[in-house]
Amino acid sequence: MINFIAEAKDYNRRSEKQEGGIAAAMGIAGSGVDGVERQLGESLSHQKKTLFHSWFRFLLLLSLVVFILLYAVSDTSLSWWTNLPFHVHYQRFFSLTNKVNQAPSYRIHPKHKVKLSEIHETTEHPTVPATGIQYHQAYPRNYHFVMDNSEVCKTKTPFLVLMVPVAPNNVAARDAIRQTWGKESLVQGEVVLTLFMLGISGKADAEQLQEKLKQENLKHNDLIQSDFMDTYNNLTIKTMVIMDWLATRCPTAAYAMKIDSDMFLNIDNLVIMLQKPQIPRVNYLTGMLMWNRPVLRSKNSKWYVSEEMYPEPTYPTYTLGMGYIFSNDLPNKYVEISKSIKPFNIEDAYIGMCMKKLGLSPTSPPNPSQFKAYNTRYDRCEYSKVITYILGSAQELVKYWTDLKKPGPPC
């Protein structure tokens, strides 16, 4: 920069000599040609300044671009870079010009923060937030329980724990389950426990909703809540937090089931199945099995997964997420192995990936026809034989359950 200024000064001196030589050669002198001299001098001076300013701006801009590129790609300079006042402006520029498939961001305790991708809440490529939130894997112990109810497995040792992921504001689904299959605490002579797993609401009325949830839990003692954002694309996080709770709060249970809140569950048939002597007590995962399912790459799909998040064209064998049953030794194994598996937003396939990493495979149930997906109509005889069905509403669940339990043979 010092050499550059010296050269500029030398350029000024040479320009002044040239101006004097031109004026002398033209014989311009005296007051009669003062205007001409001034115009000539101003013209030359203007050209000189314009050229000088153009080169100066070009060199300054070039230096700034090189400077920004070097520091933007340097891992060691990242913390320094984020403190610059123009960081936000240039971060947006690089986010727009260097779009990548990133995997969801969550607020966590500072000691757990690492730089990873985010499973975003839309199919669009996310930009790096200017708030400084870091990214990390879907490791459940990065989160903290807001409501726990850890004592529920201390008073009784359940044979089966039903874990229901549900949205914080979906009181109707929780109440319908409490009136139907979730109210059964003793089934076929076995202790059964039903709990609801929630995250944190991101809606405008989150504070009021949180107070309502506290009151609901005081009444029913069946809510478990962790401090991740409760969104559809965070179901993998939600499922892994379920596994963490089972591993740390209820390790003495024999079996557990992750079951969606829109499901009909014939709890008697489920317990009867698990009581069969051939059902393993370890490394057991069963439900409706999915084989060789392709990964959806269309960004318009609800189940879109980028190649960066999951590079293989097909998923490993997994159990459909509507409801799957597992021996209660597996949750701790899932939690540990998840530290080495990059998260993606298809939670049931992610559990299948955990099984594959563990060197295990899901098992077909004794009677696969008992695990149904959608039904076209209600039939009392049919519902008396199945274990699961996907329903359309909480009202349907109450209606079908009431009819199934009425006196008289179902078939």
Beta strand residue intervals within 51-151, DSSP E? 145-147
Residues of the chain with pLDDT > 70, as a percent, come to 69
In angstroms, how far apart are the furthest CA atoms of the chain?
Answer: 126
Q: Is the sign of the CA dihedral 292, 297, 298, 304 positive or negative?
A: positive
The Cα–Cα gap between 35 and 204 comes to: 72
What pLDDT is stored for residue 57 in this prediction? 73
What pLDDT is stored for residue 124 in this prediction? 33
Backbone region of residue 132 per phi and psi (left: phi > 0; alpha: psi in -120 to 50; beta: other values): left
Q: For the chain, state the CA radius of gyration.
A: 34
The Cα–Cα gap between 287 and 298 comes to: 27
List the Cα angle 268/354/100 in 5-degree steps: 125
What pLDDT is stored for residue 406 in this prediction? 96
Lowest mean pLDDT among 24-38, 112-126, 362-376: 112-126
- The pLDDT of 294-316, averaged and rounded, is 94
- Asked if residue 326 lies in contact with residue 242, where contact means CB atoms within 8 angstroms, the answer is no
Q: Which residue has the tokens 């005889």?
A: 381
What pLDDT is stored for residue 284 in this prediction? 98
Strand partners, 194: 162
User: Structure tokens of 323?
Assistant: 């409801």
The Cα–Cα gap between 147 and 214 comes to: 8
What pLDDT is stored for residue 3 in this prediction? 43
pLDDT at 30 over 50: no
Q: Which residue has the higher pLDDT, 49 or 388?
A: 388
User: Structure tokens of 13?
Assistant: 């001196």
Lowest mean pLDDT among 27-41, 47-61, 147-161, 226-240: 27-41
Class of domain 141-404 (CATH, top level)? alpha beta
Q: How confident is the model at residue 87 (pLDDT cuts 50, 70, 90)?
A: very low
Residue 185 is classified by DSSP as S
Nearest of 243, 208, 204 to residue 224 by alpha carbon: 243
Q: How confident is the model at residue 59 (pLDDT cuts 50, 70, 90)?
A: confident
Q: How confident is the model at residue 397 (pLDDT cuts 50, 70, 90)?
A: very high
What pLDDT is stored for residue 165 in this prediction? 98
What pLDDT is stored for residue 47 in this prediction? 52
User: Structure tokens of 226?
Assistant: 């962790």
- Asked if residue 288 lies in contact with residue 371, where contact means CB atoms within 8 angstroms, the answer is yes
What pLDDT is stored for residue 351 in this prediction? 97
Q: Write down the domain spans for the chain.
A: 141-404
What pLDDT is stored for residue 77 in this prediction? 40
Residues of the chain with pLDDT > 90, as a percent, come to 60
Residue 324 is classified by DSSP as E
The Cα–Cα gap between 387 and 150 comes to: 28
Q: How confident is the model at residue 76 (pLDDT cuts 50, 70, 90)?
A: very low
The Cα–Cα gap between 51 and 190 comes to: 90
What pLDDT is stored for residue 189 in this prediction? 97
pLDDT at 27 over 60: no
Size (the chain), residues: 411
- The pLDDT of 158-181, averaged and rounded, is 98
Q: Which residue has the higher pLDDT, 95 or 188?
A: 188
To the nearest whole number, what is the mean pLDDT of the chain? 78
Residue 259 amino acid letter: I
